[in-house]
Structure 1
């Protein structure tokens, strides 16, 4: 297994250098990751936080999801193709080194999410879960993916998960729905499930605001939901 640091340093928001049209960076609200762990990853997928489990978040951005995963899992690898200042700078789709990941949990860039899914299915020992919009489930490309690799579970958020380009907005809103598409090696497809309402209020912590909403020196990206 390749030597690596188990923890990444928090990026300050003013260090962002990404051109607005270069990458698909829509941070996951911390509460949404906590809800995923509470209702999906643990009880439904069997990712229970065993010390032998290695969780990889390969589109970590500034750590909005990976940092929250570390609240429940002792070993989380964080990486991204762009140097946001958190985790390793690795191109996930070109990665060919030996990395023994048990699970991959990620909010991938929309346009390469199918490639992320195929890669994650191929290199994990237990499985993976991708956070996507329902519209991602369509097209021939996804049909071929699901025919070759039937998902074990679709887990829908009942309440909306607001995502804004380049930042997390604690009071943000959206008309876009999200769900987790989950694969578990050796497990048959099962009925979809719904993550219950009220999680945004229940699982948002005061320290999240301080941690993720520091003023930025550079202009933030436009208020556009994906």
Structure 2
């Protein structure tokens, strides 16, 4: 065999090996591409889930953050500042987040003037003394923690906007107290009237929802008549 033919044969063999290596490299890259695409798809799904969860969390805390910023900036009025004051809540009703997590069942609901209405439509009794001391208004959002021992611990978490109304205190035939102002009537808790030692005919300052109608009002103060 001539040197020229041998050289050509070696060159052809080298070319075949190069082609084979390129072919194998191409095949090895294909699974990696597919795997990479799979990871990308999984990453997109995970990102969407995380974005959705983050969006919900941000929506839940946005309102509270806005109020906090306004409070720090001094743009909230005295009435709203008093309404948001932690002093409006009973000291014995405060439970830390950790304690709540360990305590048991937690339910949020709306105060209807006497009781809390849960998301399931059930009524949960609210102690009259707590409602009076906290000056709860119909429409306030409450959080109820039911401890393992069965104790109900309430916390006011969403006060409704309030308006002050001056009216006259009266007692009906059943012994319940009502407040009359400009032809409108509101029921008030007997515990609130008793606390201020009010009686029929006294001038009373009540808190009612700023928007909409309500059947109940919270007693803010009572001006006792001299007679």
TM-score band, normalised by shorter chain:
under 0.3
**Structure with the higher helix share, 1 or 2:** 2
**Structure with the higher strand share, 1 or 2:** 2
Give the structure, 1 or 2, with the largest relative contact order (CA under 8 Å, sep 6 or more): 1
Structure with max Cα Rg: 2
